[in-house]
Structure 1
Amino acid sequence: MKLADKMYSLGTETAFDVLAEVVKLQEQGKNIISFAIGEPDFDSPENIKQAGIEAIKNNHTHYNPSAGLLEVRKALAKYIERTRGIEVSPLEVVITPGAKPIIFYGLLATINPGDEVIYPNPGFPIYESMINYVGGVAVPLALREEKEFSFRPEELETKINAKTKMIILNSPHNPTGGMLSTEDLQQIARIAIENDLWVMADEVYSRIIYDQAFESIISIPGMKERTILIEGMSKTYAMTGWRIGYGVAPEIVVNAIARLCTNSISCTATFTQLAALEAVTGPQEDTTKMVQEFKERKDLIVKGLNEIEGISCLNPKGAFYVYPNVTKACQNKGFKNAKELQEFLLHESGVAVLPQTSFGMRNEGETEEYIRLSFATSKENIIEGLKRIKKGLERNE
């Protein structure tokens, strides 16, 4: 017996492979400091938990419309209106179990076999995986360290041809923490409009920003009609396990995604939607405190990494990741690439990080080496982890 051919085009998140290895080592009694998984290490706010509990107690445990509860869609539409400065109808909102299904369903709804989709590289690995799975052609667009992990608009234009159907954006960005500038967004919008392209804007880290205001491409005139915006509760409200996210898109796309929900999941759990309603309409102090803590951790880890021989690290503008350049560290230790460095740090230093290959193929002509560290962990762990990395990389052989 064999699987369908399509399954062999499906990728994965190698972060979970590293997590499995970390767990195995911990079971063997080894102490591992993990910077591998991108998940807030905070509990969901109490008011949100209580809303979910009350929803269950009040028997909100039945089916609901595939696109989501109308009262929740209304609240999410108002939230996007406030944060993006555009008018949004509840009929332009669709709720799914997590934000990730919007990637999958959004591509299924808009991409035909052979259509080309441009995506950021390095990037969240599910973009490339899902493009390939739906039969599209994945076209990587290099993010450049010299551009603070943005890309050159003129390089984007060279990727456009008659087969191009969509551009995927992620700002703030995983794995680099970079953000697209106003100028970048305006150039992308111009290119999308001139070439009649869809834009999928993954903005799940929109509230986790540090030194500049968040801007969305959907706010630019002419872009709402062609944008599939991805948002969710996992990062902003530390609700990863609740599995609750949503998309904002033209009604034709929302209706298609709702049909896909009907055919796959029926609907998103009612009580998690009501918890999400409390998240966006209730007090925001917990999120504010969480982001402030992330900022302090960011400053701590960036400073510490830049003090380690062979490592240089840009200051991320959003999300909770750093993406340091470790080219010299690899050369100093005789490693061929960041993957060998990652394995050394895990097994010799007791520190889990992810190599750049966890986030896509090497860009053409690229010679630099990078690793990603998530600072969604305690300051104590950051200090100890940096100490171990420094000792491992700077000790004499």
Structure 2
Amino acid sequence: MWDVLKADLTESPLTAIIRNKILASLETGRLDDGRDLPAIPFHQYMTLCLYHPEFGYYRAGFSRVGREGDFYTSSYVGEMMGEQLGEELVRLAGYYFPNDERIAVFEWGGGTGRLARQMMDVWYLASDRDGKMQDQEKGFTLALVEGNPEHRRLAIEELDEYIQTGKARVVTTEEAEDLLQCEQPAIIVANELLDAFPTHRLVRRGELILEWGVTWEEGKGLVSCLLEPISAQLNNWIQEEGHLLSNNQTVEVNLDAMNWINNLTGRLDRAMMVLIDYGDETEELISPHRMEGTLLCYYKHRAHSDPYLVPGEQDLTSHVNFSHIRQTAQKSGWKEIEYVNQKNFLVKSGILDKLSSHTISDPFHPIARRNRAIRQLLLSDGMSELFKVQILIKQ
């Protein structure tokens, strides 16, 4: 079935734009047969696929999450992820920022606003309805940061009641960076953000570390090739860690995620960063069973490995290297205070206490749905072990 679908998905509005970029490139890539053709680095290709201003996957004006999109996030499994995270932020803010009455929360890459609304319901509606958070002493404001215009529209609808009362706003990246210039402490929440940054892809060939590129071959279209790495930052990584790769092994290097952390660091004096994403440590990501790297593509909830299928209309993503994130953050003055998988994070935050015993036969009853959401978050497909929660503090 997938082969039949794939046969009909070979061109997209972005294909011609990428082809012209390649043909105009001054860089040269080498094919397996030894031919040299104009090429661009895979990082540039992935950037165009995801963030081209008109046809990029995250810029084209479509919602990319949920049933009608290509993937789900944990906030789509009931309300529990946002509820647990919201309660944990109250606890952490009370411990690390005890003398501050106001906390500015920025959910970076907040999508359609579901996670933000779930957190804000904890901070405000729970207190209003049943006194659950009556001892909460801090006021939280939230800025949802999102580049996809359709996601921003949906987020404004999702957060409407909080926007009307001045507790929330929906902003672009540029607007968020201006808002970060504030005296009060900030909490940055990034749920499945870092995996959406374009990555460089490197491969070891004998004694050389080369960069995967993309070229255009007549009769075949977009194909892979090899380039000499030219980025100074990338070559620094090669000098430090390139020797860890096995021969013919491919690895993704997410320099954009590291640069994002450094950019935030320069704008924040006192802050906390909560990163939730799928990934692992360097040792796992370059282990022998990962010779091809971790790049995956998602189209209509189907995972596959062809990044050249319908450019701009499928998601391209790779595992986050939390070792690199930790090293980058520590060099910039951050301290890691927690690093666990999502399952352990949820259990430590008390999610099991919210399971209810019942004899209700209606599967759509709120109690039954809540229990099912908890089980799904903790047990579904092992994803709760694959996802990690990394919390960093800068004071």
Same fold, TM-score > 0.5, yes or no: no
Q: Which is bigger in relative contact order (C-alpha 8 A, separation at least 6)? A: 1
Range class of TM-score, shorter chain: under 0.3
Answer with 1 or 2: which has the greater Rg.
2
Q: TM-score, normalised by structure 1?
A: 0.23
Which of the two has greater strand per residue? 2
Which of the two has greater helix per residue? 1
